[in-house]
Amino acid sequence: MIKLRGLRLGFETGFALAVDELYVREGEVFAIIGPNGAGKTTLLNAMAMLTPPAAGTLEIMGQDALRPANRLLLRRAMSVVFSQPYLTTDTVFNNVALPLALRGRKDRGAVERALELFKISHLKDRDARTLSQGESHRAALARAFVTEPKLLLLDEPFGSLDERVKDAITRDLRQVVKSSGAAVVLVTQDQAGALTLCDTLAVIVNGRILQQGEPQAIFSRPAAKEVADFVGVETILPGKVLSRTDNLCAVEAGGKTLMAVSDCAAGDSVFFCLRPEDVSVSMNADAGGRRNNFKSRIISVAPWGLEYKVELDCGFTLQAAVTKQLVDGLGLKPGGEVYASFKAVAAHLIKRIL
Amino acid sequence: MDFIISGFQKGAALVFSGDAEVFAIARLSLAVSLGATAAAVLVGVPLGSAIAVKKFPLKKLLIALANTGMGLPPVVAGLVVMLFLSRNGPLGFLNWLYTPAGMVIAQTIIALPIITALSISAMQSVDPKFYRQILALGASDAQAIRVCLKELRLTVLAAVIAGFGRLVAEVGAVMIVGGNIRHQTRMLTTATVMETQMGNFDTAIALGLILLSLSFAVNLALTLIQQRRVAR
């Protein structure tokens, strides 16, 4: 659906986007995540043919998208939704009908269906300026789907919505996307949102795609320290592989010897990575078969979403996510002593290039 | 003081007497100024929008020129048009000198920079992200501009009002190009100047009153159109 190669885009500010390869297949949901200012929106605007790149090739639906002559035709085969709905001063119905009007089409049925898909049929005669934020975003999505596009580009489509509204719209959007069979490129900072929607995930940092692939693989096996940082790996320790037996590596990191399952070789310099939800905290020394087990002192206990984040000192600093019940049950508080354990398979090693 | 009061009385009487010549003059004034406004809108709004939206070299210079043109002295515009339309001028073959058509040309040239410059600044006030969204919905440049102009209708109509106001009150260009010929190119403004110079203050006042009423009527109509959708 989209084939992008060797894309280069520079700005006067010094920021540069460089994407070597990006493929979006038909019918797949491709999410691009990354921190603020990483170049996500720039990349999407390039794919939407709104910002011409300095170099590279961009093919959309088999057509050369960088040829000005193809631009309008390709734009009319796809839809783009931005973080702001940008509705016109008109009724909701006419807003949703606008893409059809721009294509010289009139199809009341299609407009009614699009309104129905995003559950705003009852608002069709309202002045779009009087909609709530959530309703405006729904109208923008209905407007994007009214042409039944084969390709949809979404740039932070629910930017400033509160969680509850966002969840409801995400649920409806997923249903529509799945049943429409359209390919979707979703740019977002919201990792949970990306995970619920996407088949393929790409992480972009500093204008470069550092990793792309199955979302689960990226979350548990980040390919670079920056990716690990962004996807919520909280413990990242520089270290060195001491030895390897089968695929079990002994790693010297943080002044301790840690066990990790990896195909790194002895002598490799690595980052030892661990997600906080993979760390168990207990009062007794029995690790229950986990290969890593350390007596630790609690540095701090802080609420973290629905759970608690416990910062531990076990020679190195380790972050653990624990439930409220556990915090209460064990009476976890700063200064207390506990055992922290984790499986070798939960740990992940990133090769460090020195 | 008396001659002013009696001037107003006689002027008002003349307005209500339905004098055929006065009404012909009023009709011509309205036709020329509305025609020139319409021509300037037809050219200036798309031109200004395109200048605002497109990127090209010397864009800023062009905008500065349009802004300067807003203050174009009507007598200068009139002089240039007269020279072009004169018998030996490049457009002399049209035989438009001392005709209503010639006056429309001159007034169009006066209104064009106003409409163009105001259209440029109106279009530049559009959030580039809004414009980008309209393009992304599948609009050609022309379609995107049209959608934006619809959003900008208040501002565009303000430009129309400003342009018409300038033209209906203008005397220098129509005097030079039209020549204030009775039954042919006499306008409310040129007639007012002439009657004043001849000492016929009551007629001059009557013409002035008619001019003000016409201007008010047209602006009222435009304002009603402009404010139709603004429910605040």
* Interface contact A75-B135, CB threshold 8 A: yes
pLDDT of residue B230: 53
* Interface contact A86-B135, CB threshold 8 A: no
Mutation for testing the A interface, residue in B133, B143, B149, B229 having most A CBs under 10 Å? B133
Q: What is the average per-residue pLDDT within A258-271?
A: 92
Could you give phi then psi for residue A3, rounded to 5 degrees? -125, 120
Among residues A144, A4, A32, A27, the alpha carbon closest in space to that of A79 is found at A144
* Interface contact B147-A88, CB threshold 8 A: yes
Helix B20-53 × helix B153-168 angle, to 10°:
140
Q: What is the average per-residue pLDDT within A7-14?
A: 85
pLDDT in tens, B169-209: 999 999 999 999 999 999 999 999 999 999 988 889 889 98
Cα dihedral B80, B83, B89, B92 sign: positive
What residue of A is the nearest CA neighbor of B138? A76
Q: Is B141 on the interface with A (CB under 8 A)?
A: no
Which residues have C-beta within 8 Å of that of residue A73, sequence separation ≥ 6? A63
Q: Is B101 on the interface with A (CB under 8 A)?
A: no
Q: Is B136 on the interface with A (CB under 8 A)?
A: yes
Within 8 A of A98 by CB-CB distance, chain B residues are 137, 147
pLDDT band at A2 (very low <50, low <70, confident <90, very high): very high
What residue of B is the nearest CA neighbor of A147? B137
Within 8 A of B135 by CB-CB distance, chain A residues are 50, 75
pLDDT of residue B23: 87
Q: How many CB atoms lie within 10 A of CB B55?
A: 5
Distance (Å, rounded) from C-alpha A354 to C-alpha B73? 73
Which residues have C-beta within 8 Å of that of residue A87, sequence separation ≥ 6? A95, A128, A129, A131, A136, A139, A140, A143
pLDDT in tens, A186-204: 998 878 777 778 899 999 9
Ranges of beta strands (E only) in B45-139 are none
The mean predicted confidence, pLDDT, of chain A is 90
CATH pick for B2-227 out of 3.30.70.980, 3.10.310.10, 1.10.3720.10, 2.40.160.10: 1.10.3720.10
pLDDT band at B232 (very low <50, low <70, confident <90, very high): very low
* Interface contact B132-A88, CB threshold 8 A: no
* Interface contact B138-A102, CB threshold 8 A: yes
* Interface contact A88-B138, CB threshold 8 A: no
Give the start-to-end residue ranges of the domains of chain B.
2-227
Q: What is the average per-residue pLDDT within B5-13?
A: 83
pLDDT in tens, A118-173: 899 999 999 999 999 889 999 999 999 999 999 999 998 876 677 887 888 888 88
* Interface contact B137-A82, CB threshold 8 A: no
Within 8 A of A72 by CB-CB distance, chain B residues are 138, 140
CATH topology of domain A233-351: OB fold (Dihydrolipoamide Acetyltransferase, E2P) (2.40.50)
Residue A107 pLDDT > 50: yes
Range A114-123 contact pairs with CB under 8 angstroms and sequence separation of 24 or more? A114/A142, A114/A143, A114/A145, A114/A146, A115/A142, A117/A142, A117/A145, A117/A172, A117/A176, A118/A142, A118/A145, A118/A169, A118/A172, A118/A176, A119/A172, A120/A92, A123/A92
- Percent of chain A scored above 90 by pLDDT? 67
Q: What is the average per-residue pLDDT within A285-300?
A: 88
Q: What is the average per-residue pLDDT within A334-350?
A: 93
- Percent of chain B scored above 90 by pLDDT? 77
Residue A168 CA from chain centroid, whole number: 18
Residue B120 pLDDT > 90: yes
Q: Say yes or no: do domains A2-225 and A233-351 share a fold.
A: no
A·B CB contacts under 8 A = 45
pLDDT in tens, A241-263: 999 999 999 999 988 999 999 99
- Measure A72 CA to nearest chain B CA, in Å: 7
- Measure A88 CA to nearest chain B CA, in Å: 7
* Interface contact B139-A102, CB threshold 8 A: yes
- Percent of chain A scored above 70 by pLDDT? 99
Residue B231 pLDDT > 70: no
Among residues A120, A182, A108, the alpha carbon closest in space to that of A145 is found at A182
Q: Is B129 on the interface with A (CB under 8 A)?
A: yes
Q: Is B143 on the interface with A (CB under 8 A)?
A: yes
Span A2-225 CATH architecture:
3-Layer(aba) Sandwich (3.40)
Mutation for testing the A interface, residue in B131, B134, B137 having most A CBs under 10 Å? B137
ipTM: 0.81
Decide if A311 contacts A276 (C-beta within 8 A): no
What residue of A is the nearest CA neighbor of B126? A86
- Measure B44 CA to nearest chain A CA, in Å: 24
Give the start-to-end residue ranges of the domains of chain A.
2-225, 233-351
Decide if A80 contacts A144 (C-beta within 8 A): yes
What residue of B is the nearest CA neighbor of A44? B136
What residue of B is the nearest CA neighbor of A142? B137
